Amino acid sequence: MPYTEVPGARVPIRMWTDPNTVEQQAMEQLHNVTTLPWVHGLAVMPDVHYGKGATVGSVIAMRDAVSPAAVGVDIGCGMTAVRTSLRAEDLPDDLRKLRSGLERAVPVGHAAHREPVDVRRLPGVRSRDWDAFWARFDTLAEGVRDRRERAACQIGTLGGGNHFLEVCLDDDGAVWVVLHSGSRNIGNELAKYHIERARELPHNQDLPDRDLAVFVAGTPEMAAYRRDLFWAQEYARRNREVMMGLACGVLREQFPGVEFPEWISCHHNYVAEETYDGVDVLVTRKGAIRAGRGDLGIIPGSMATGTYIVRGLGNPASYHSASHGAGRRMSRTRARKTFTQADLVEQTRGVECRKDLGVVDEIPAAYKDINEVIAAQTDLVEVVTHLRQVVCVKG
């Protein structure tokens, strides 16, 4: 669908959904963002909903400034998907052993590895220069430098909430491994540190929302944030890569000879330096993926509605972006009050996964319809294939 331009804002708000369906809190957040003099433009994805710090599903292009709260506390959160050589018929009828193997290999929730994963012995990990990457830890904000051991043990861990590790089947019956995670506790701590620093700066004292506090180009504060931000984004990418290596190891054990011919990875909470209309901008994608022409992306639904692999069409009106998922249609608190364990069991029928009250806030009905979200952005991405999960691991 073509976008709708919301009137009354200082800069255009281009929205790939009906503005009348967006909750008032989210609309207020979006309008507040446009009051900042550094904002060049704002694109809103069809999975839009109210979020802490900034609206989830928003793409903010700023000149010479960035808002750390708009990036959010899970810096570099994103997706990785790997197509395997396995077919649907290769999987057993009972998938509990596969799920258990994945849960043993990849710690979930607040758990971490007892010792850092030895990436040199992990097939499939493509990143190099690990020593140089960790050497940069000592240049991060002083308040987090004693967290190195914990950060090292959390590389290759999933976390909780809406993060997941899945085994899926595509339209042609090929088996995929898909995961969603971010920068774990170290990204959270770096984000909180810089959000508080930004709020204290004199130029941020009269904002309509404290979460709009920005760092401005050419200042020591901006330089420090960019250093920590880009390191955390790389940490998140490497975290997903190690997790995927561990998950693929489980498949190798249970299905000898399996191969992994295609890897796709993308951030959806991050900042990138890009140019539009001849203007250099810092693009903050909070719950949005890059969808430049030819870019492969991953857009998940919920625990039982599958995931779409998409290819970007390079639409500059959205700053080459697309949605990052289905998007919540109700808060976690409301979902817990609305749905029962029996509802969760029914809505996840056919998926080997947790079916207890601890994950009822992730029930599919708490999310928007992923098919409608995909249909609303046909000018942003084209569908490559749809994945249907048969195993879902959550923290």
Catalytic residues, by residue number, are: 324
What residues contact residue 149 under an 8 Å CB cut-off, 6+ apart?
Answer: none
Integer angstrom CA distances of residue 301 from 11, 96, 153, 213, 347? 31, 22, 29, 31, 13
> How far apart (Å, rounded) are the C-alpha atoms in residues 267 and 302?
18
303 is in an annotated binding site: yes
302 is in an annotated binding site: yes
- Alpha-carbon dihedral of residues 336, 80, 14, 19, nearest 10 degrees? -20
327 is in an annotated binding site: yes
326 is in an annotated binding site: yes
> How far apart (Å, rounded) are the C-alpha atoms in residues 209 and 206?
9
300 is in an annotated binding site: yes
163 is in an annotated binding site: yes
DSSP annotation string for 71-87: H-SSTT-EEEEEEEEEE
DSSP annotation string for 294-311: T-EEEEE--TTT-EEEEE
57 is in an annotated binding site: no
Paired tokens of 222: 């901006």
Phi/psi of residue 105, nearest 5 degrees: -80, -35
Backbone angle region of 350, left / alpha / beta, with phi > 0 → left and psi within -120 to 50 → alpha = left
166 is in an annotated binding site: yes
324 is in an annotated binding site: yes
Measure the CA angle with vertex 182, ends 393 and 110; round to 5°.
60
* 3 state DSSP class of 247: helix
Contact between residue 267 and residue 291 where contact means Cβ atoms under 8 Å apart = no
301 is in an annotated binding site: yes
Integer angstrom CA distances of residue 37 from 66, 255, 280, 311? 12, 56, 15, 33
Contact between residue 70 and residue 54 where contact means Cβ atoms under 8 Å apart = yes
Contact between residue 370 and residue 304 where contact means Cβ atoms under 8 Å apart = no
Q: Give me the residue label for tokens 């180009």.
A: 217
CB burial of 359-382 (b: ≥16 within 10 Å; e: otherwise) equals: bbbbbbbbbbebeebbebbeebbe
Annotated binding site for GMP: 162-166, 268-269, 300-303, 324-327, 394
Annotated binding site for Mn(2+): 74, 163, 180, 268
Annotated binding site: 74, 162-166, 180, 268-269, 300-303, 324-327, 394
